[in-house]
Amino acid sequence: MNSFIGNSILGLIQGLTELLPVSSSGHLVVAHSIIGSLGSADLTFDALLHFATTLAILLYFRRDIWRLTKALARAVKKIYTKTTLEKYEAMAIAIVVATIPAVIFGLLLEHSMSTLFRSPHLVAGVLIVGSIIMFVADKKYAKQTQSDNTEEGHKNMTLKDGLIVGLFQSLALVPGMSRSGMSIVGGMLVGLTRAEAARFAFLLGIPILLGAGSKKILEAGVANITPSMWVGAFVAFVVAMAVIHFLLEFLKKNTLLVFVIYRVVLAAAILLLI
């Protein structure tokens, strides 16, 4: 019973924090240190939770994904013939380009991420660094949109835009940085509105989260996943669906400041209490 409670709590944390710019991996590292034996403290369960939230993204954005899939084939042909890309075609290519840095750095740093970067105190420091990055980017974005007197954002993303967002996403390999947070920052810096950047961040996360989660689960073996782990994953899936809708609506009218403050408060709590 304790494992069901602990893994349900971890699933709730994952569902709430994977898609918010507050770092799910950082929260899970801290949660594992607090919950201890009540939850499954291994990377296989973490991977299963990431897999569950990825499924939530797939379901929520199923129409966009279908359009992007069809657009990708057209985009490749247009690039070959040097024809101007339409919105979804440009976005599809940008997602491919943005995925490459995370794949490369992920393969190079996988061992370090699973060992050296699992300390709660390190997570606290990274939470603060990520908060500074988000705060500066948000201020720069606000200043730019005020001077331009517009909130339209990019219509088409370029290969350069995709690469920039992809490099920012790679920062999230360190627990505490936040994949969605850094991807949103990258999107804002290349000209997307906050809501557009969040949508792009969600879609961009699918290949990495799905690939990494599947790899870890296959390595461990599905048979080694306990019933309590599946319960935790279900909780993460349900909560993530609600969080996606909330964040997209929230960022249409609000800044990232509330998440910056939350991250700093969380970091302080970690340093003082753990």
Per-residue pLDDT of the chain (274 residues; tens, 9 = 90+): 567 888 888 889 889 988 899 987 677 667 766 765 444 556 677 778 888 998 999 999 999 999 999 999 899 888 878 788 888 999 999 999 999 998 898 888 766 665 666 678 888 899 999 999 999 999 999 888 766 555 555 557 888 999 999 999 999 888 889 989 999 999 999 989 999 999 999 999 888 878 777 777 777 667 777 888 899 999 999 999 999 999 999 999 999 999 999 999 989 988 887 7
Using alpha carbons only, give the angle 265, 267, 271 rounded to the nearest 5 degrees: 115
Asked whether residue 80 is assigned to any structural domain, the reply reads no
- For residue 235, being part of any structural domain is answered with yes
Residue 262 and residue 21 in contact, taking contact as beta carbons nearer than 8 Å: no
89 is a domain residue: no
Output b/e per residue, 177-193; b: 16+ Cβ within 10 A.
bbbbbbbbbbbbbbbbb
pLDDT of residue 121: 84
Please give the structure tokens belonging to residue 113. 């991420």
Model-level pTM greater than 0.85?
Answer: yes
Among candidate residues 113, 87, 104, the one with its CA nearest the CA of residue 203: 87
Identity of the amino acid at 54: T
The CB-side HSE value for 46 (13 A sphere, CA atoms) comes to: 19
Look at the chain and report how many structural domains it folds into: 1
Which of 273, 233, 265, 263 is closest to 44 using CA atoms?
233
In a domain, 184, yes or no: yes
**Does a structural domain hold residue 78?**
no
Residue 86 within a domain = no
135, 274 in Cβ contact below 8 A? no
Query: Residue 47 in contact with residue 271, Cβ under 8 Å?
Result: no
Nearest Cα neighbor of 270 from 138, 175, 135, 180 is 175
Q: How many CB atoms lie within 10 A of CB 69?
A: 11
Q: Which residues contact 205 (CB under 8 A, 6 or more apart)?
A: 54, 57, 169, 179, 180, 183
Q: What was the pLDDT predicted at 147? A: 63
Q: Give residue 223's domain range.
A: 2-66+98-273
Q: What is the dihedral of CA 135, 136, 141, 142, to 10 degrees?
A: 70
In a domain, 153, yes or no: yes
82, part of any domain? no
Q: Residue 32: what residue type?
A: H
Q: How much is the pLDDT for 271?
A: 86
Quick one: pLDDT at residue 220? 65
Residue 176, phi-psi category: left (phi > 0), alpha (psi -120 to 50), beta (remainder): left
Q: CB-side exposure of 66: number of CA atoms within 13 Å?
A: 5
Q: Which of 201, 204, 251, 203 has the alpha carbon at shortest distance from 64?
A: 203
Q: What is the pLDDT of residue 36?
A: 57
